[in-house]
Amino acid sequence: MKEDYYKILGIDKSADATAIKRAYRKMALKYHPDKNPDDHEAEAMFKKAAEAYEVLSNPDKKARYDQYGHAAFDGAGGFSGGGMNMDDIFSQFGDIFGGAFSGGGGFSGFGGGFGGGQRRTKGGNLRIRVKLTLEEIANGVEKKLKVKRKIQAPGTTYKTCGTCNGTGQITRITNTILGRMQTASPCTTCGGSGQTIDKKPADADALGLVFSEETVAVKIPAGVVDGMQLKVNGKGNAAPGNNGIAGDLLVVIQEDEHPTLKREGDNLHHDLYVSLPDAILGTSKEIDTVSGKVRIKIEPGVQSGKILRLRGKGISSINSYGKGDLLVHVNVWTPKTLSKKQREFFEEMQNDEHFQPKPDNTDKSFFEKVKDMFS
């Protein structure tokens, strides 16, 4: 089991953005590689803190994490933080550290100090929407998606940037009343990659990239919800240069409406209409479930509003807490028009004791049924 992000940063769920940033900065400074050279445990904690901060500092990711936990980012490549390169952490969250180390700016990587390392650029992310049936959501599915993404054009070569000499950064030294201050910023010539185009084919763009269509297999776990976003690492646009890393493919879930089943969390609801004779005499009915059709028995004398619970016939929990149920709501259909013979029969039965309402303890009210349904 992955460790709770709030526990990693030492905060509770009520922490606001400022508290989250403060907690991350405290941990990052404590386990920073410059303060803990060759300490693999400190390196692991540094990466854990960066992973936790990437999620909790993003309002959308934080909301999904609060609702679904780590499962919100599983199933399609998962969250990439556990394998984050130190350069990636520094480039993403460098502003957190301020001037705490060597005047700030320009991290070069683990144990490498500042200014001399080459920054790794990352390609852009792609987003694609995938429609799923309720059956696919209930059971999980693998989808083969055609993705049009940018890749490095065959024959493209790169050379060391002459402006930054391959570091990806421009260092400036400024004299202040406090002394000489060194700052670093991404090189504007190469965009921080440390490399520029040497040769490229005619159909490539200015970065040496071309569009290519690729089929990507995405495993979607059971229990996903509408709007949930899964991530496939490295299947976004490529980055220019020999040291760049590809962006990610973000798969947004769209749930198609089912003709007879309505979803509520992990539970499903089905409205079953039965005729008055069937309600009186009893019958059996075939209904839809996410695993196929099943036949259920309607006992004689069933009351309208009766809820039949089919356990385990709902949706698998995204957090692996088992399966929800299918709740069948029985509705007795009362005819609006009658023939003369039918009307005479019911007029004769109108005062018959067998047709008089006589609810007992087993006939619960509507509010009691709702309470039982959610208990």
pLDDT (tens digit per residue) in 16-67: 999 999 899 888 888 887 677 778 888 889 889 888 998 998 888 888 888 8
Query: ∠ CA(166), CA(168), CA(173), 5° rounding?
Result: 105
Q: Give burial (CB, 10 Å; 0-12/13-18/19+) of 258.
A: middle
Query: Which pLDDT score is estimated for 113?
Result: 37
Report the DSSP pairing between strands 326-333 and 267-275: parallel
Token pair in block for residue 357: 């309402």
Q: Give the largest Cα separation in the chain, rounded.
A: 106
Query: Which pLDDT score is estimated for 364?
Result: 59
Encode burial over 11-47: b for 16+ CB neighbours within 10 A, e otherwise: beeebeeeebbebbbebbbebbbbebeeeeebbebbb
In percent, how much of the chain has pLDDT > 70? Answer: 82
What whole-number distance in Å separates Cα of residue 113 and Cα of residue 86?
12
The torsion angle over the Cα atoms of residues 35, 37, 40 and 43, rounded to 10 degrees, is: 40
pTM: 0.60
What is the mean pLDDT of the segment spanning 243-260? Answer: 92
Query: ∠ CA(230), CA(140), CA(292), 5° rounding?
Result: 150
Residue in the block written with tokens 């694609």? 128
What is the mean pLDDT of the segment spanning 161-174? Answer: 85
Query: Which pLDDT score is estimated for 361?
Result: 67
pLDDT band at 172 (very low <50, low <70, confident <90, very high): confident
Query: Which pLDDT score is estimated for 60?
Result: 82
pLDDT (tens digit per residue) in 285-301: 999 999 999 999 999 99
Query: Which pLDDT score is estimated for 179?
Result: 67
What whole-number distance in Å separates Cα of residue 71 and Cα of residue 225?
11
Query: Which pLDDT score is estimated for 372?
Result: 60
The torsion angle over the Cα atoms of residues 75, 77, 81 and 87, rounded to 10 degrees, is: -170
Query: Which pLDDT score is estimated for 10?
Result: 93
Of the candidate ranges 87-101, 185-199, 346-360, the one whose mean pLDDT is the lowest: 87-101
Considering the chain, what is the average pLDDT of its residues? Answer: 82
Specify the higher pLDDT residue, 333 or 76: 333
Query: Which pLDDT score is estimated for 253?
Result: 94
pLDDT band at 190 (very low <50, low <70, confident <90, very high): confident
* pLDDT above 90: residue 273: yes
pLDDT band at 248 (very low <50, low <70, confident <90, very high): very high
Q: Say if residues 192 and 121 touch (Cβ distance below 8 Å).
A: yes
Query: Which pLDDT score is estimated for 319?
Result: 75
What whole-number distance in Å separates Cα of residue 363 and Cα of residue 355?
15
Residue 119 backbone phi and psi in degrees, to 5 = -80, 135
* pLDDT above 50: residue 110: no
Secondary structure letter of residue 303 according to DSSP: P
